[in-house]
Amino acid sequence: MKTLLIIDVQNDFMPGGSLPVPDGDKIVPIINSMQHKFDLVVAALDWHPQDHVSFASNHEGKSSFDEIEIQGESQTLWPHHCVQGTEGAKFHRDLNTNKWEAVFRKGTDKEIDSYSAFYDNGHLKSTGLTGYLKDKGVSQLFLCGLAADICVYFSAYDAFKEGFACFFIEDASQPLDPKKFQELKKKMNYLGIQIISSEDI
């Protein structure tokens, strides 16, 4: 079953949001235009409590984009974003959600960040996405969304580790740091995650 996973196309990651991804809004019409090509469409979104450990404002003397260590792992500190129940946490208003069968929330544990749609960053807690997809008989997983170099990349990495054939849809994603993402694309190629365009589907 050919499945599309749409990741974090939320207001706070759009231009004017609290953690804007450059040109993040430009992927919305592309995602809308290709959903009909898939047997199954699911989505993931950041859903953080107000006191989330990744928010810089919750660490005295720290600023956004500082690096600290949490539970033995490096953690980037972010501006407040995608706080549960806020306008910033909602999906972009123009995103067509009619075909979606399920939405998986991540980053809900205040003590650890969760970039991947499958697990938190310490792989301590699953979102249940793997079991859901395998129960549906999914073999091919196509990923897109925001940000390409963070949540989409880590979701693709985990999906590959879970045994799915993975395809990253580049024109339906945008990175926060384009230079960093060029290096991550090399890692995806090395793993066998195919980088494609929406027109290739």
Per the annotation, the verdict on 166 as an active-site residue is no
104 pLDDT higher than 90: yes
- State the catalytic residue, choosing from 12, 120, 144, 151: 151
Residue 61 counted as domain residue? no
188 pLDDT higher than 90: yes
146: Cα separation from own chain's centroid:
5
Residue 14 counted as domain residue? yes
Residue 77 counted as domain residue? no
pLDDT tens per residue, range 52-61: 998 989 998 8
- State the catalytic residue, choosing from 8, 46, 113, 120: 8
- State the catalytic residue, choosing from 46, 82, 106, 149: 106
Per the annotation, the verdict on 110 as an active-site residue is no
The arithmetic mean of pLDDT across residues 167-191, rounded, is: 96
What pTM was computed for the model?
0.96
Residue 81 counted as domain residue? no
Domain boundaries, position 38: 2-50+86-200
Q: What is the pLDDT of residue 101?
A: 98
H or E stretch covering 33: helix 28-34
Residue 68 counted as domain residue? no
Per the annotation, the verdict on 106 as an active-site residue is yes
93 pLDDT higher than 80: yes
Q: CB atoms < 10 A from the CB of 121, how many?
A: 18
Give the chain's mean pLDDT. Answer: 95
What CATH number is attached to the domain comprising 136? 3.40.50.850
Q: What is the pLDDT of residue 44?
A: 98
- How many domains are contained in the chain? 1
Task: Provide the pLDDT confidence category of residue 73 given band limits of 50, 70 and 90.
Answer: confident
71 pLDDT higher than 80: no
Instruction: Using alpha carbons, select from 158, 97, 151, 108 the residue that is nearest to residue 133.
Output: 158
Q: What is the pLDDT of residue 70?
A: 82
The arithmetic mean of pLDDT across residues 117-139, rounded, is: 95
Residue 153 counted as domain residue? yes
157 pLDDT higher than 80: yes
Do residues 84 and 110 make contact, with C-beta atoms less than 8 angstroms apart? no
Task: Provide the pLDDT confidence category of residue 62 given band limits of 50, 70 and 90.
Answer: confident
Residue 122 counted as domain residue? yes
91 pLDDT higher than 90: yes
H or E stretch covering 40: strand 40-46
Residue 25 counted as domain residue? yes
